[in-house]
Amino acid sequence: MDLSQGEVDEFMAAQKVVPSASPIAWESRSLTQVIWQAPIEIDAVQQGTVFFYVNPTLPRRWSFKLSLHRAEIYRVDVKPLLRHSNPSGRPSDCPGKVTCPEHEHRWTEGYGLKCAWPLENLSDASHQRILDVFCKRAHIDFRPEYSDPASGLQLEIG
Amino acid sequence: MQLSRANPEAVREAVLAALNKDLACEVLEDGTGRVGCLTPLEYPDGDAVVIWVREMGDKMEVSDYGEGLADQEFRSDYERGIVSDIARGAALAHGVAVYEGRLGTQCIPKELGESILRVASASAQAAASIACQKPSRRKESEENEFVRLVDETLRGRNVPVEREHKLQGSSGHSHRATIYVPHTHSILEPVGGHWNQVASVYTKFSDLAPVNGFRRYSLLDDRQEQPGDDVRSLLVQVSDVIAWSGHDTWLSQIR
């Protein structure tokens, strides 16, 4: 199922909702992978999912992803150390390299999610603040009660 | 320096310069003393592979801290088993270990550079090899009864429907849409939750997806209980997913 830029742009621009009202229930899959995912709907029709990832062994290592059906179309990443290389032929506003720990990957026809842009002025932002940024940029009405992924998790690097 | 096939030293220095340009190391500012090493290798999304180094007595721990296997969102236990196999294969190929989703090794200081490159290679290889997979199963249900309920409800709301409408998939295989709404070219496949049915709908919609013009809906029977997240996660890859309990809301889209 190949996506077109028009389909992705339409889905991104549409007002979407993560309907569950229960709190985010983080699932620890391993020492390095704590996740949560939920369906995302437009007018009661589920068209995709949101997926959040936290790596507790690293400080401020978070991902927030939006998928349309099986295709990941938008992602906000926070990584403690980053160098991202954007492909040649990228959109004109897309920089060659991104080194900003807080950055976003936007789906681009022909490149998928390989193109990244920095997100400025978020260097001290909390996990919840980054979630807000993700939802705002992706037009998501996020209804589940927020829960901090660090609560109940113990950092273990050994 | 002259660059030619007859000058291997020039080639070597050119490669070294390229590697050096993309190599950087920083201390992690969390008080643990760990050092992050940005390598010239990249994950499929274009992010550089970062390998982390930590002193452990007279040895060094070298790890990717699970970043090579981070992207596993639609995975059941079965699928995670396959991902683990991929990780073990990548680890074996590069002479490193895999533990709790992390690829890494321990080494003495003089082996550090080589160890970082081996772990980075294994991590990049594992990330590039991970492929999509499938979910689990649920209860057997009264599928025919649910189809009849959907059919009667749509007709009762003056939505013209056809049962078992023939459609040709991209493979050339002939499928039957359980419920077809001709006005909007919508295909509704009621799904009770039994795994065989879920898999059948997934296959049908996968084959119909490249055929232009059809709107594909997996209609979940949630009258008694919600189908599992794995069912939704699978079907949303090939269709819009709607629940019976919300039919008052979504009906306007398909009529």
Q: Which of B42, B46, B101 is closest, CB to CB, to A30?
A: B101
Please name the amino acid found at residue A38.
A
Residues of A in contact with B44 (CB under 8 A): 114
pTM to 2 decimal places: 0.72
In chain B, CATH 3.40.1350.10 sits at 142-254
Tokens of B186: 């919508």
Rounded to a whole number of angstroms, the distance from the CA of B5 to the nearest CA of chain A is 28
Residues of B in contact with A35 (CB under 8 A): 72-73
CA distance B75 to B172: 30
Using the predicted structure, report yes or no on whether residue B79 has a pLDDT greater than 60. yes
* Contact between B39 and B32 (Cβ < 8 Å): no
Q: Is B182 exposed, middle or buried (0-12, 13-18, 19+ CB in 10 A)?
A: exposed
Residue A44 contacts B, CB cutoff 8 Å: yes
Residues of A in contact with B22 (CB under 8 A): 83
Using the predicted structure, report yes or no on whether residue B6 has a pLDDT greater than 80. no
DSSP per-residue codes, B120-152: HHHHHHHHHH-------------HHHHHHHHHH
Using the predicted structure, report yes or no on whether residue B240 has a pLDDT greater than 80. yes
Q: Where is average pLDDT lowest: A84-98, B46-60, B177-191, B216-230? A: B216-230
- What's the whole-number mean pLDDT along residues A49-53? 93
CA B185 distance to own-chain centroid: 29
Per-residue confidence (pLDDT) for residue A158, from 0 to 100:
47
CA A54 distance to own-chain centroid: 11
* Contact between B108 and B51 (Cβ < 8 Å): no
| Neighbouring C-beta atoms of residue A117, cutoff 10 Å | 18
Residue B129 contacts A, CB cutoff 8 Å: no
Residue B102 contacts A, CB cutoff 8 Å: yes
Task: Please give the residue of chain A at the shortest CA–CA distance from B23.
Answer: A83
The fold of the B142-254 domain, in CATH, is Trna Endonuclease; Chain: A, domain 1 (3.40.1350)
Residue A58 contacts B, CB cutoff 8 Å: yes
pLDDT band at B136 (very low <50, low <70, confident <90, very high): very low
